[in-house]
Amino acid sequence: MENPLNLSQCNFNQYQHWQNVAVLWAPVYGFPVYATAVFLLKYYSDTQSQYIRAAQFIAVILNYLELIDMSTLFYPQFAIPVLGLQVGGILENIYPRVITYLIAALVLHHGINTTTLFIAHCRLMLLSRSLILRKNSTNTFLRRAHQLASANYVLMIVSVGSILLLFRVDNIEYQTAWKREFYQKYKLEFILCPKYYVLDPTAWEFTVMMIVACSVTVLFAFVFVLCSLTTIAIVQSAKDTMSVQTMRYHMQVVISFLISCGIQAFFVVLPVVHMLLCVYFEFMKTYTGGLLFYSLFTQAHQGTAFTLFYVISHRKTKKTWRRCVRVARKIKTERLFKRSI
C-alpha cells in the first residue's frame, strides 16, 4: 500500500518516563526473584522427584524468558481501536517484526502451561503409586486425570503448530490489504506507519489459532484443577495411614501451587480481556483506555507474580522470616530491659 502521508516512522509511546523504565528494566529488578527461586529449588526443594524439580526449573526459566520478551525486547505499543501494535523495546530499530516476538511469547506461555500441568500431574501419579487407594471414586478421578493430562500434552503441541500459522500472515500482501481496509474504516494516520503491524481477526489463520489456543487453555485449566483436587482427595483418603505432618505437607504444597497458578492466570487473563474489550467496545476505550499500560505491565509480570508467590510461600522463606522476627523481638526486649534498669 502506498503511503500518502510519507510516514517514515511513528512513535506510539505515550507513557511516562517511569512507566517506560518499569517495563524496559523489568528483567533487571525482577532477576532477584527468579534467582531466589532457582536457589530454593536447588538447595531446599520440597520434592525428592527429579522430574518435578526439573520441571520447576524449566518453568522458572521460561517465565523469565517471557518477561524479557514481553518487556525489554518487545514492549508492544498498542493504539486502540485498531487491532494492531508496534515494537517498542530495545530492538525496535534492529528487528521490528512484531509477529516474531508475539509468537515467541505465545510459545513460551504454552511451555509454561505444559510444565505447570506436568508438575501437578507428576505429583499426583507419584503420590498415588506410594499409597493404597481404597475408594473407587478416587481411582476413577485418578484415571480420568491421567487420560486428560496425556491428551492435553498432545493438544499443546497442536496449539503451538497453530500459533506458527501466524507466520503466514506476516508478509507485505496481507499487511497492504489490511492497512488499506483499516485506514478506510478508521481514517487514522498511524495505520500507515511502516513498522505498525495490523492483524485482521477474521483471517482463517488467526481464527484457527485463537480457537485451538483457547480450547487448549480451558482444557489445561480444567485438568490442572482436576489433578490438584484428586491429589487432595488421595491425601484425605489416606489420612489413616499417613502422619499428620506428612498430610499437612502435601496439602500445603498443593494449595500453594493452586493459589500461585491462580495468581498467574489472573495476571494473564485480565489484561488480555481488557485490551480486546478496548478494541471492540467504544465505552471501554473511553473509560479505561488509559489503563492499557497497567494491562501490559501485569501481562509481562505474570511469571514474576507466580515465582514471587513460590518464593514467599516456600518453607525455607517462612523459617528465615520467623528467625528474623525472633531476633528482632529479642533485640527489642533487651533494649527495653536496659532502659528499665
Q: Which residue has the higher pLDDT, 204 or 337?
A: 204
What is the tens place of the pLDDT at every residue in 68-113?
Answer: 999 999 898 887 778 788 888 888 888 888 889 989 999 999 999 9
Mean pLDDT of 220-237: 87
Alpha-carbon gap, residue 224 to 217, rounded angstroms: 10
Least confidently predicted of 47-61, 210-224, 280-294: 280-294
Q: What is the mean pLDDT of the chain?
A: 85
The CATH number of the domain where 249 resides is what?
1.20.1070
DSSP string, 228-281: HHHHHHHHHHTTTSS-HHHHHHHHHHHHHHHHHHHHHHHHHHHHHHHHHHHHH-
**What pLDDT was estimated at residue 133?**
64
Report pLDDT for 7: 47
β-strand partners of 197: 85
pLDDT at res. 304? 92
Residue 114 confidence (pLDDT) above 90: yes
Identify the pLDDT of residue 132.
Answer: 65
- Smallest CA-to-CA distance from 83 within 168, 171, 202, 166 is with 202
Asked whether the beta carbons of 248 and 255 are under 8 A apart, the reply is: no
**Mean pLDDT, residues 152-170:** 91
Number of domain units in the chain: 1
Check whether 36 has a pLDDT greater than 90.
yes
Does the predicted TM-score (pTM) go above 0.85? yes
pLDDT band at 4 (very low <50, low <70, confident <90, very high): very low
> Residue 248 domain-assigned?
yes
Residue 11 lies in a domain: no
Each residue of 175-205: pLDDT tens digit? 889 888 888 888 888 888 888 888 887 888 8
Q: Does residue 10 sit within a domain?
A: no
| Residue 221, burial from CB neighbour count under 10 angstroms (0-12, 13-18, 19+) | middle
pLDDT at 229 over 50: yes
pLDDT above 70: percentage of residues in the chain: 93
- Structural domain includes residue 329: yes
Q: Does residue 4 sit within a domain?
A: no
Q: Per-residue confidence at 308, pLDDT binned at 50, 70, 90?
A: very high
Q: Is residue 66 part of a domain?
A: yes
Residue 8 in domain: no
pLDDT of res. 129 = 81
The residue range of the domain holding 309 is 17-340
Report if residue 31 sits inside a domain: yes
